[in-house]
Structure 1
Amino acid sequence: MKELLKTKVTVRLRKSEFRKEWFIYLESYPVMIPGKDKVQRIREYLNRSVTTVDFDKKRPARTTQESVSYKPKRDDNGIIVCKSENDRETMFYADSMRKLRQREYDNIELYSELDKIQVEQKEKSQENFVGYFDRLVNKRHKNNSESIQVNWYRSIEFLKDFGGEKIMFSQINTKFCEHFKSYLLTAKSGSNKQEIISQNTASTYFSVFKAALKQAFIDGYFTTDISAKIKAIPHEESRREYLTLNELNTLVETPCELEVLKRAALFSALTGLRHSDIQKLTWNEISIENDQAKIILLKKRQKV
């Protein structure tokens, strides 16, 4: 797309061939005219002339073998200086016409810029949001943990199940987002698609979806921040199961064919460690301080 031109309008003079008189005209440049490949220089004569122009002898305009012409002096506002009162009024009139034409060109450029933005926005609105979503994972989370990437990819998969492989940006509005939210709250997962995902899982996937919408707004794919208009899926309090002291004592007295399994179960109940953490546990991760055993989880650098 071509860059817009900044047209400048200037008051100029043209010397009469027969008298000591200068005709006044407006020069606009550069100007793009439909049907023309190159920029144009537009001259508009104002049907006015002056005879007492004050020329700057230090600024030659054109030199020929016969004569030398000079540029006219201009005041601080850029108005050509003349000696007579009538000519000064004429130049004030010329400058008012210049301002009028300049505003007209500025408004044309303003609307052209708005048109340009609208065209770019329309082009972006026809792009595939699913593809953008997928690229965003690689761009934004390529160095993040696997669990974060998995949440993003699963969110994309549920979005595909809901709306298909191609969802144009122009299709996405608050209504679409609310329908997707409702879909997640009843979506099924697993190989057989039998179990409905938990509300907390749906909340995570919808938060990822909102994050993608927010980034798309920042990148100019939306004119409004849709993510700010839709509410998140509330997180439910997780219910933690634990054994009472009496239940633990009962477990201690209960026979088990695999003694190592029994010890691991008791160790897990007393420390809160997962089975996978216990399997990887080494003596280097256990320290005794003040008659208390402490376990350092190397992954999170936390003591238990």
Structure 2
Amino acid sequence: MKATKVTLRKRPLENGKISLYLDFYPPIVDPNTGKKKRRDYLGFHIFENPKTPTQKEFNRVCILKAESIRTQKEIEFLNNNFGFYDKFNLKRDFLQYFLEKGKTHSRTSGNQGNWKSAYEHLKLYSGGICTFAEVTPEFCEGFKEYLSKTKSIGRSHKLSANTQLSYFAKLRATLKDALKEQIITKDPCISISNVRAEGSNRVYLTQAEVMKLYQTPCPELPMLRLASLFSCMTGLRWSDIEKLTWSEIEDPEQTEISLLKYRQRKTGRFEYLPISKQARELVGERKGQDEQVFSGLKYSATNNTILKNWILKAGILKKVTFHCFRHTYATLQLAGGTDIYVISGNLGHRQVKTTEIYTKITNEKKVEAADKIKLY
């Protein structure tokens, strides 16, 4: 990487003086604004046409001082090129940078909340003030240790291993971004082992339970019932169902299988997903292309309560969230013999290993089934 070149330049002023400033190429990042800049005015104003010995001496001293600053800056940038931190960036607010990166990385309200929680814990751990200079390997290791002992904000229980992993991963992601943007030249987190994840207990519904839900009305919010069943049959996340418009559903005349053409909010990737005749019938007649398929559906605590009551009304005692319907789709498809690569593609997973977690669930059910036929 080429070191930043620093040049001392002059700018004439209207009062007969000259302002001295440093010109940076390529541009540097301003530690106060986070934006790139080419110039840094030194605050030295020399005489354009010095007439007296005093004025000439004043100009000479100012230029010497300005040249000294220029040389020092160039050395700093050269050091930065060989593995040292740039002193400009040492003073930048890391917490503010982390908060801004959370907005960049978040495509869903749930992920935004996760980044916000990680930020709040990072702020508590650092005491509310943290510059890039303070983000050392020891700082990162200490944050990992803090997460293992602290409690969830506003609650009495400790953070789960998976929540710790999620928050620590966000610190890693932020530092990787800072490395790419040349704010830092070394990742202080690179040699630190990750938080060990615990096996997740993925709740899903059986085929019989899905049928119970279909037969159970939800008068408080009928659209929530339709969206839940649609997720069971397609595997779509809440974020994609909530924003789904009629322009994203294609109904070919020559076949009964409709096609979803949509962009995943979580990954940003464009997906094609065939849906069954029953799934298509759930959403009813077509409306305007720009209208939402599940109009009026919004995430809220009230709707979560309605979902919980509807599940109980159907006689299902499992702790079900909306995301469980996505698990239901994957698990029932696997149990029905659908190829795992097909399921992985339908779910929009980038790697099939993400889908393989569901094979463990179905294998456990196979073991249970094997023990149901007894001779004595």
Q: TM-score, normalised by structure 2?
A: 0.38
- Judging by fraction of residues, say which structure has more strand: 1
Larger Rg: 1
